[in-house]
Amino acid sequence: MLNHCFLCRNEDLKEMLESSKESLKLEAMKRIVGLIAKGKNASELFPAVVKNVASKNIELKKLVYVYLVRYAEEQQDLALLSISTFQRALKDPNQLIRASALRVLSSIRVPIIVPIMMLSIKEASTDLSPYVRKTAAHAIQKLYSLDPDQKEHLIEVIEKLLKDKSTLVAGSVVMAFEEVCPDRIDLIHKNYRKLCNLLVDVEEWGQVVIIHMLTRYARTQFVSPWREDAVFDENSEKAFYDSEEERRVDQSKPYIMDPDHRLLLRNTKPLLQSRNTAVVMAVSQLYWHLAPKHELSIITKSLVRLLRSHREVQYIVLQNIATMSIQRKGMFEPFMKSFYVRSTDATHIKTLKLEILTNLANEANISTILREFQTYVKSQDKAFAAATIQAIGRCATNISEVTDTCLNGLVLLLSNRDETVVAESVVVIKKLLQTQPSQHSDIIKHMAKLFDNITVSMARASILWLMGEYCEHVPKIAPDVLRKMAKTFTSEEDIVKLQTVNLAAKLYLTNSKQTKLLTQYILNLGKYDQSYDIRDRTRFIRQLIVPNEKSGALSKYARRILMAPKPAPVLQSAFKDRDRFQLGTLSHSLNSQANGYLELSDWPAVAPDQSVRIVEVVEPAGAPVFGKSKPGKSDEKFYSDSEEEEEEEEEGSSSEDSSSSSSSEESESESESEENSDDSNKSSSSQSDSEKKKKTLKNKKLQQQKPDSKDRYWSHAVTKFFLMHIVLSFSNQFVANCRCSLLCLYVFLVCQFDTVSWHVRVSLQASSPVFVPETSRELLHRMTGKGLSAQYRFTRQPCIYGNSMVSLQLTLSNSSDQALENIHISEKSSTGRDIHRFNASGGLRPQASVTVSMGVDFNDSTQAANFQLCTKEDEFSVSIQPAVGELLLPITMSEADFTKEQTILSLCSEIVVFPLN
């Protein structure tokens, strides 16, 4: 009957779906979604629902999607009807429609459409919209779970998407990477620095995934910063440079952190301030697993802050703190009071706090902690009170000063009214007594007296064991206890029975006169016990202690076996072995390996090749700015600016910054700015060219990083520095935005006098030019050049040919009607300027043009460089006169740094400071 009703209603829904009225259809879909939510089966409506997949009504369409994704797996054939709609939508000009089509298409778990999915993913991964690419990254995981055979193809897509520079994509593709090919660490190398730099701007969920992945990556690529002999001290700049100098001088190789390692630590640190608890935890575990020990303390505050959050968050955070506090007490000791238990905490929170307090206990604070524990013992929550007693026991064994105090306190608890408290005390006292039994026979006697009133089996068993073990200390009481046990033996719990048998055996060996009969009686009872454990034990004990002809040599040693001195148990934290798991993971939380847990590898003894992370070729500015966001373009521009600022400031503030990592940052932001300015006319060759320059520059900087003892630095540099700063107003918009954010982008241009090297202070990082003019100036007119014309422009890139050179781009074109052969710069240049000539180009066909790059050392003067431009037949004198700005190197520094430099430099007569305005 009910079934019938249900069918009726479904009929009714079917009718509504087939009606022509949108509102009826929508109503029907809403009711169907209600059914799905309740977990009712609505699969038979599939044909009626799937017809509406192409509906114009957005809400209706969305609800149909919900239905489709839920039931497609069950109704595979019918689901295929909808595929063409999605395929069409994948070509829609609107990115959001493309994305949602891919989302639903990839969620339909029908194996037959795997090839279609694969194709769509590949296509979407090159989509212009980052949002669609993000969806593609999600789809990768879906397809992988549907058909793991596609792995190889999917890895290709992942590789492509990993190169993506959009913050939208980063989190999702790393997620796909983790799921599909977490072992392909080689795919990360080239993207490592980019991911580090993008991290702050990725959405919070992506941050968590990326941080976890980078933690694993770093453990395979860098050497351990925890070396015993590491004299490395981050806080003192001096030590850093000394150590580096040392390396150069005597090759003794003290530990020096890989700049990439440092980059990761530096870029994750601000995320400790995230509102998302998962992000904070992720950064904390990253620091725990990767940072030098002395830097760990910065995570403490943030972790303690998380304790203010929801109960479940507290639970996980406390678990992690418990593991940390075993290894490093000092980290959390100042925050001990944050772990004080409140009566309103849930029991598992209380127990964890107790665990941490116990871990933190030391000679200095033990009295405070014990006083706190005293209140806990009285708690109404008896499970918690019992746990407190355990904790007191642990404190007592760990800190010998308080053992006696604790023991006395526990004995007092034996008269507590609550049974669980008494039982727990007995168990703990038993463990404590084992360490020093002889002094405490009165406690054992006291416990024997309590024995009749205790019903908790664990406690009874503990007392029996104590009696047996130390029967020599209580020779009169022990046989009496055994007598009582013989009476109640049958009604005891197994654990108590086992200990009774033990007690009997031990007494038999030490005091057989009094206990022989009792023992035999108990052994007989044990022989017919229901539990075979006890029957086994009885049989074993009988053979061991009662001499007969069958018992072998062993019974001679019975006394030595049973009465052997037993080592005292070590009371240790339940979190002791949890550090085998990466912190913050599910496995750590459960203390057992979860599915898909990825082991954190040990540090390599020798760091693998660092150069793998150097990015050689930046992809042409293919990752586009999407057209849709045109109205919001000003914000975008603004935002990317502030991003740059952030990076710059960071560079300025972190004094131990090493230039190679930062230069990679620059190349990153630079390539982004290239993207933004959208230089379509830049040929890709010139780009890779400039890229090469950057790379060499980077290497040079590495070589030239000089010790930064201040005196030496200034003696070299003061006279050679020529510092000026110029604010470039790129556009009004930018200036306005600068004002908004009140953070100006300072562009400092430093000109170098010295030809040997540039003494760049670590805080002064050459940054990328923010604006490169496209206009070229004429070098040689085609009339004077007999058909050969030449134009030059300053690329404002560091010159690859020499530090002191300025790089130039020369465009040679042939406007004559004959080919020009062997165009080159003559060997003798008239002004004695050092010129790096371009390679003599073979020939220039009529109407063709070629772009070459060259370097000129202007010797820091604005005097023109004169030289001869030669062809096979002719020689033309030309000259290049640089504007002063072209001789300068852009430097970014914080305002504070700038003022500092300015005051120092103002003492020097050669300095010209261009005021900001």
Contacts with another protein in 732-751 (CB under 8 A)? Answer: 739-743
Q: Which stretch binds another protein (CB under 8 A): 401-409, 447-455, 491-499, 648-656?
A: 648-656
Interaction of residue 365 with another protein, rule CB under 8 A:
no
Phi and psi at residue 862, in whole multiples of 5°?
-90, 10
Closer CB to another protein, 245 or 419, in the complex: 419
The nearer residue to another protein, 219 or 700, going by C-beta atoms, is: 219
Q: Are strands 806-814 and 841-844 parallel, antiparallel or unpaired?
A: unpaired
The only residue of 225, 259, 292, 584 in contact with another protein, by rule CB under 8 A: 584
Structure tokens at 725: 């700063």
268 binds another protein (CB under 8 A): no
Q: Residue 794 — φ and ψ, nearest 5°?
A: -85, 125
- With tokens 């005097």, the residue in question is 863
User: In the bound complex, what is the minimum distance in angstroms from residue 596's beta carbon to another protein?
Assistant: 3
Q: Is 719 helix (H, G, I), strand (E, B) or coil?
A: coil
How far is 287 from 285, CA to CA, in rounded Å? 5
> Is 273 among the residues that bind another protein (CB under 8 A)?
yes
Task: Report if residue 248 touches another protein, rule: CB under 8 A.
Answer: no
With binding defined as CB under 8 A, does residue 212 bind another protein? yes
Closest CA to 299 of 275, 323, 321, 326: 321
Q: Which is nearer to another protein, 151 or 692 (CB)?
A: 151
Nearest-angstrom CA–CA distance, 55 and 64? 9
Query: Min. distance of Cβ 13 from another protein in angstroms?
Result: 15
Question: Is residue 527 at the binding interface for another protein, with CB under 8 A as the rule?
Answer: no
Which of 112, 517, 590, 883 is in the footprint of another protein by CB under 8 A? Answer: 590
| 470, containing H or E segment | none
186 alpha carbon, distance to own chain's centre: 18
DSSP letters spanning 233-248: -TT-HHHHHHHHHHHH
Specify whether the CB–CB gap between 168 and 130 falls below 8 A. Answer: yes
- Measured distance CA(428)–CA(430) in Å, rounded: 5
φ/ψ of 474, rounded to 5, equals -125, 65
| DSSP run (H or E) holding 750 | strand 748-752
Tell which positions 69-88 bind another protein, by CB under 8 A. 70, 73
Which residue from 98, 138, 193, 497 is in contact with another protein, where contact means CB under 8 A?
A: 138
Least gap, CB of 99 to another protein (angstroms)? 9
Q: Which of 653, 818, 847, 863 binds another protein (CB under 8 A)?
A: 653
Residue 645 as a binder of another protein (CB under 8 A): the answer is yes
Stretch that binds another protein, among 416-424, 484-492, 496-504, 816-824 (CB under 8 A): 416-424
| 500, amino acid identity | T
108-137 positions binding another protein, by CB under 8 A = 109, 129-131, 135
281 binds another protein (CB under 8 A): yes
Out of 52, 85, 141, 752, the residue judged to bind another protein by CB under 8 A: 141
- The CB-of-402 to another protein minimum distance in angstroms stands at 20
Work out which of 19, 23, 436, 684 binds another protein, going by CB under 8 A: 23
**Burial class, 743, CB count within 10 angstroms (exposed 0-12 / middle 13-18 / buried 19+):** middle
The answer to whether residues 561 and 571 touch, using CB atoms and an 8 Å cutoff, is no
Is residue 170 involved in binding another protein (CB under 8 A)? no
- At 174, the amino acid letter reads V
Site for another protein in 26-65 (CB under 8 A): 26, 30, 33-34, 36-39, 57-60, 62-63, 65
Q: Pattern 185-204, binding to another protein, x per CB under 8 A? A: ---------------x--xx
Q: Taking CB under 8 A as the rule, does residue 569 contact another protein?
A: no
Total number of residues that touch another protein (CB under 8 A): 118
- The contact pattern for another protein, residues 322-361, with x = CB under 8 A and - = no contact, is ---------------xx-x-xxx-xxx-------------
How far the first Cα of the chain sits from its last, in Å, is 86
- CA dist 627 → 164, 170, 624 (Å): 18, 21, 9
If we measure between CA atoms, which residue out of 299, 376, 293 comes closest to residue 339? Answer: 376
Q: Which is nearer to another protein, 237 or 345 (CB)?
A: 345
Phi-psi region of 810 (alpha: psi -120 to 50; beta: other; left: phi over 0): beta
Using the minimum distance from each CB to another protein, give the nearer residue, 303 or 466.
303
| Binding track over 789-828 against another protein, x by CB under 8 A | ----------------------------------------
Q: Which residues contact 693 (CB under 8 A, 6 or more apart)?
A: 797, 798, 799, 800, 807
Contact with another protein (CB under 8 A): which of 439, 490, 572, 629? 629
